[in-house]
Amino acid sequence: MDETTVVVTDAPGHGVGPEREILGRVGATVVDASEMSDADLATAIRGADAVLTCFRQVTAEHVMSAPDLKVVGRYGVGVDNIAVNAAAQRGIPVTNVPDYCVGEVADHALALIMSLTRGVCVYDRSVRSGSWELPVASPLRRTNSLVVGVVGFGRIGRNLSRKVAAVGFQVIVCDPRLPSDQPTVDGFVLASFDQILERADVVTLHVPLDEGTRHLIGAAEIARMKSSAVVVNVARGPLVDEAALIDALREHRIAGAGLDVVEVEPMATDHPFRTLPNVVVTPHVAYYSEESIVELQERAAENVATVLSGERSANTVNGV
């Protein structure tokens, strides 16, 4: 009997111990391809029964060239780095872990919101440079005078809405999946996307990346926002048109941005976000806690193990 092989393109944790333990129970051997070149990875995938990926691309060519491939699993929620349609054409399920880091991502968004609205990072840099002055981050306003517009009211959007409301912000939410004729959802005022752009002091993004949401925030959307508003993105970098955002930040047509994701990762060493004073950037770590990483590895591996055992994973995203 041929050996069952699971290729891990890039593990999110400290090694692939949890994966080896869980997949070993169904007779699968884990190949850690984290240090492989793209060419060597393509070769490894051609002989694989399953692939687990975090950030690396699993392309249509990968999917079509692997005759024994039975499942592609994602460490995480979004699957925009996987050729989902190609997998569906071959009858190969794509799985994800939709809810492992809801609290962490909401907390990270809240941290960026508080850093921007309280001038934390601006003051920190000022003090480190030798200053001790109030005006460098002024004007700051009371939390309860500010409106946070939550774009996307899924698990993370709901969690964040409760947290920012508890801090004292006013909250309005929008989501195209919600009925447009209801005034509130879970006690929060339901608004249109246009209303959020016009009313919110903080616009925070919590939607998946697809062709309908790519550059959801661009020059036209920024033009409708308050000059005192800030944008927060902990979802996917291409939701924001970076060129438009950079221009607006430089020209002070928008007050700031808090970003855990950018259009191309890792961010270039000469990227303007590294030097713009009104930007707070973190390196795509909103999902991270020691607890969330272990849960992610275990549940992603369990999804793949379920399919390799001949069963359907409850976390299949492409209907296969």
Chain centroid, CA 214 distance in Å: 13
Task: Check if the beta carbon of residue 250 is closer than 8 Å to that of residue 275.
Answer: no
**Burial annotation 82-109 (CB, 10 A radius, 16+ → b, else e):** bbbebbbeeebbbbbbbebbbbbbbbbb
Read off the amino acid at residue 281. V
Cα separation, 6 vs 1, whole angstroms = 16
Q: Would you name the residues annotated as active-site residues?
A: 236, 265, 284
First and final C-alpha spacing in the chain: 26
Which residue spans within 131-225 are E strands per DSSP?
Answer: 147-151, 170-174, 184-185, 188-190, 202-205
Task: Check if the beta carbon of residue 276 is closer than 8 Å to that of residue 246.
Answer: yes
User: Which whole-number Å values give the CA distances from 281 to 112, 239, 273, in the listed order?
Assistant: 9, 15, 7
Task: Check if the beta carbon of residue 244 is closer than 8 Å to that of residue 222.
Answer: yes
Cα separation, 218 vs 75, whole angstroms = 29
Chain centroid, CA 2 distance in Å: 37
Tokens coding 196: 């959020």
